[in-house]
Amino acid sequence: MAVTGQHAAHHTIVIYNVEGLDASTRTPLHLTRTTVELGAIVAEGLAAAEVPWDACHRETHGESLVVLVPPEYPTAPLVEVLPQAVAHAVHTHNPDSHGLSGTRLRLVVHTSEDPVNDYAPMSGSLSMALRLLDAVPSTTTLADSSAVVALIVSGSVFDEVVRHSAVLDPAAFQQAEVMAEEGRREVAWIGLSGHSYLSDPAVPDLRLAKSTPTDTAPDKRVSIATGTNGTLEAVEPGAARLRGVTITGGVHGTGSGVTIGGATGDYLSIGTPSPPAGKPRDPSPSGMDRTHVASTHAPAHPVTNPSTEAKATAQIHGGVAATGNSAAVGIVHGVVHLHAASSPSALVVPRQLPAAPGLFAGRMVELARLDRALSAAPDGSDTAVRGPASADTSVSGATVVVSAIGGAGGIGKTWLALAWAYRHLDRFPDGQLFVDLRGFSPAGEPMAPGAAVRGFLNAFGVNASRIPTDLDAQAALYRSLVAGRRMLIVLDNAATSQQVVPLLPGSPTCTVLITSRHRLASLIDRYGARHLSLGVLTHEESRSLFATRLGTVRVAAEPFALDELVNLCGSYPLALTITARQAATRPAIPLAEIAAELRELGLEMLDHDTDSAASLPAVLSWSLRHLTEQQRTVFALLGIAPGPDIDMLAAASLTSLSVTRLRRVLGTLEDAFLIDLHTHGRYAMHDLVRAYAVTTARDNLAEPLRSAALERIMDFYLHTAHTADRLLDPHAALARPRPPVPGIKLHTLSDASAAIVWLESVHTHLLATQRIAAGIRRHHVVWHLARNLTSFHQRRGHLDADLATWNAALDAAAHLPEPAARILAHRYVGRAHARLEQYDAAIEHLHQAAARAEHNHDTTQQAATHLDLARVWGQRRDDRTALDHARRALELYEGTDNPTRQALARNAVGWFLAHLGEYDTAREFCRAALTLLSLHHEPQVEAAALDSLGWIDHQTGNHDSAIHHYHQAVTQYHSLDNAYEAANSLDNLGHPYVALSTPARVRDLGWSGGREYGCGHQVIMNGL
């Protein structure tokens, strides 16, 4: 059986009901005869669908007959064959049947996966099928037409069978909503008899082949279908196919006749009716698209063949349906005449899509989002399967579906649009329009809307003399041509919404896909465009692109080099394709060498001297053409700003613009997809876009402008960091940086917690600022950044970063006039080495610091350096030498007016005495430190003294007291947000708990969690 469609692997429920069966005019005998004859007709229809009547379970439900078809029989014939066979049988029986005279049927096809017993359907699916049968749209659709059968299918049947059928046209079905159980809404699809859409001449007209005429009059049952090369075929059962009829124009139906014709070839005329007496013949205008005519028993007028005499009349029984390039006629009694065409105008079907992208990879998520955006119409219907406007699309509120793909240049917008279009060509049988609006291209100015509209009119074959000169009139003509047609319009590379609006169709049967480097705000606001922002590919999609171009063998041979190529390209589609092209054209060069070249040359390797479309810098440059000079300047300055992103105040300092004005400029750059707005108000660029911004700044901005901008942004970060450091360590010796340059706007930090949050968010930026400052010899910025990051680095355990910043500060100190700058730099470099357990280097730098401090008679720095040396020797387990340095530090501090540093030195002496076993003396020194701190509060030193007392108590067996002191120390460190030292004290806290045989308590306290910081116990000595 030559039918198509997806076969359901479950039971199919078929229900039919006779329209008006319970009418009062019907006698009981009449009703009985109707039921009997109807059963015979349905049995005949099932036989035509190759489903045995006896194989089906049957039962009545009120005035409806339910037929449950076993799962071994496919669903497709029950939709493609059964309704038409039943309709034909009703046509045949109606004129002389006692029971079926004037009868019309509603036929439901629904599938069920519910469990069955003896072929009895469960209540859920049966209830749904009955609801489909009795729904208001089902009854009114049949009542308002002259068809004899209304086919109602559930949404699942439509998706499985109708949508994929070569026999049926989904456009002939109307969508309707049916109330299901519990207030749910289900979708149903309704089609009427007389709508036959055979699209393949190899598919026989089964509903006719299974039928037998009931009279002996000349009978031509004609099915007209699209044949090969655009020809039509009139199929007669048992006879040869009639060929040579070509549809090139519109379809027109009047009365019981249909005319299909075009400007060239032949057209087919069947049963053109005579006008009533005294009235002129209704003209048959050519070029009308999608006309639906349905009638029965209408008299026909004889039609004369131009080449022969009129031989007969033709009478049509059943409906006449015409859509686009196909028509179906019920039964024609008489002769079918072929006529030469006169002057109907041709209806052109444009196919303007460029070639599909050859290297397309990935984008499955984006394609799915386009499917959802372009299939869900505002009224809730499915634009992928909606029919012609003249049939069913006059739905209140239905609008054209528009989707706008936005993204930076070279991100793959056009590729995505074309890939989606080629995947869904079947949705747009009436053609596809495409135009490059040249919004961003090397060709110069964007295309004027009028030029684009005229191009579309030319595509439809409109004579130049008929094209109006006014843009509004041109757009109106264009909208008239696409009205009611299922078309895809791709508007590529749009510059503005104003360029696009005249090209938007008014018909909801059309779908519009737009690509642009701008976020087309008014299209989203006024026309409800669905916006899809396109980003870079995923890592796996990027690898897949290389594999598509280079072959799986080559990429599999160098997986690490492939990953590096992907990372160097930042998964940016154009960069990936350029690199893939370079690798493909140099097959002998290993991917590792290409990666090394890309690493060295960067953006230069992605350039091209002669082909701008193959150059990433050139493609990105086109995005700047629509920007003002100020906007281009801000874009370039953002490229040279330190750090991976920037917030509003930092950007205001960089650009010297007011926040209000800057917000507008950044909004424009964001709409142009040159920057992205991330969380917490931070703006970022893709690495390659940023590299282009850096090039733009270097080539297009004057050096004084760049230098001034860098000075402002460096002072912004330096002075905000200084404010943060004073909140974290208010008792540290003040080292104030130079006053900031004019024009910067600092952050307001309220407390130490706010300082920590800000420092964590910009830590990378501060390190980058120091590197830039070193490069342009702003030595005081380099040094002060190291100084103001020290407390934060120690609290967060950023040991490597601490060493790196102080090494840079030591180099910068050689260029600063203050002797203390080099002393402190040596000290802090030594301390950083000590924390990394690099003791020899630490001692060397600390001795240099001590010598310079003594040479400059700097008592405070001498004392601080001795405390640092005490720490290092203690870490080397030489507690005696460590104690000597601690006592020397205390002696020096007692000669100064700095009680908190005296307390720090006392605690250090107590700590090393304890390690030498002198616990009582050690406890006295540590308690003395706490007493001094009670008058001069310094929580960091206080926490260190509490930790020392906890250690002494534990060593002397006072475990409860040790736990108490450790708890106090941990609480103090937590209040300071000092995770590094809190971890040390937690580490120590576990020992007295173990000694008290409470290991569970140790686990609860997270003793082992302290080790995650990679640190053992260290004494806090933060003196200067």
Q: How many angstroms separate the CA atoms of 162 and 199, rounded? A: 13
What residues does CATH 3.30.70.1230 cover in the chain?
Answer: 12-192
> Which CATH architecture fits 364-374+399-534?
3-Layer(aba) Sandwich (3.40)
d(CA 161, CA 157): 6
Tokens (6 digits) for 45: 């229809």
pLDDT of residue 834: 94
Residue 909 in this model has a pLDDT that exceeds 60 = yes
Give me the amino acid identity at 552: T
- Longest Cα pair distance anywhere in the chain, in angstroms? 135
Q: CA angle, corner 878, sides to 873 and 882, nearest 5?
A: 50
- What is the sign of the dihedral through the CA atoms of 462, 467, 473 and 474? positive
| Highest CATH level, class, for 12-192 | alpha beta
pLDDT at 668 over 50: yes
End-to-end CA separation in angstroms for the chain: 96
Banded pLDDT at 596 (limits 50, 70, 90): very high
Average pLDDT, stretch 179-203? 60
Residue 101's pLDDT band, with cuts at 50, 70 and 90, is low
Say if residues 946 and 930 touch (Cβ distance below 8 Å): yes
Average pLDDT of the segment spanning 639-649: 95
CB 663 within 8 Å of CB 674: no
- Cβ(568)–Cβ(686) under 8 Å? no
Domain with CATH 3.40.50.300 in the chain: 364-374+399-534
789-827 pLDDT, tens digit per residue, is 999 998 888 999 999 999 999 999 999 999 999 999 999
User: Which residue has better confidence, 32 or 952?
Assistant: 952
Mean pLDDT of the chain: 77
Highest mean pLDDT among 83-92, 196-205, 383-392: 83-92
Nearest CA-CA partner of 822 in 834, 807, 810: 810
Provide the edge-to-edge strand list for the sheet that holds 645-646. 645-646, 683-684, 676-677
- Structure-model confidence comparison of residues 243 and 940, the more confident one: 940
Three-state SS string over 294-340 comes to ECCCECCCCCCCCCCCCCCCEEEEEEEEEECCEEEEEEEEECCEEEE
Tokens 């109907």 belong to which residue?
344
pLDDT at 260: 40
Q: Which two tokens stand for residue 449?
A: 């809307």
Q: Measured between alpha carbons, how far is residue 545 from residues 537, 577, 613 in Å? A: 10, 8, 19
Mean pLDDT of 197-202: 34
Token pair belonging to 955: 């060593």
Percentage of residues of the chain with pLDDT beyond 90: 44
- Give me the pLDDT at residue 286, please: 32
Instruction: State yes or no: pLDDT of 99 exceeds 90.
Output: no
Question: What is the residue-wise DSSP string for 542-600?
Answer: HHHHHHHHH-HHHHHH-HHHHHHHHHHHTT-HHHHHHHHHHHHT-TTS-HHHHHHHHHH
Instruction: Report whether 26 contacts 34 (CB < 8 A).
Output: yes
| Pairwise CA distance, residues 425 & 510, whole Å | 13
pLDDT, one tens digit per residue, over 824-880 is: 999 999 999 999 999 999 999 999 999 999 999 999 999 999 999 999 999 999 999
Phi and psi (nearest 5°) for 531?
-95, 135
Q: What is the DSSP string of 656-697?
A: T--HHHHHHHHHHHHHTTSSEE-GGG-EE--HHHHHHHHHHH
pLDDT tens digits for 752-789? 999 999 999 999 999 999 999 999 999 999 999 999 99
State the residue for tokens 């005949």.
44
Number of Cβ within 10 Å of residue 760's Cβ equals: 12
How is 327-381 classified by DSSP, letter by letter? EEEEEEEE--EEEE--SPPP----B-PPPPPTT----HHHHHHHHHHHHB-TTS-
Q: How far apart are CA 758 and CA 769, in angstroms?
A: 15
Asked if residue 249 lies in contact with residue 262, where contact means CB atoms within 8 angstroms, the answer is yes
Do 684 and 644 meet the contact criterion of CB atoms below 8 Å apart? yes
> 258-317, pLDDT tens digit by residue?
444 332 333 333 433 334 344 343 333 333 332 222 222 333 333 333 333 333 333 333
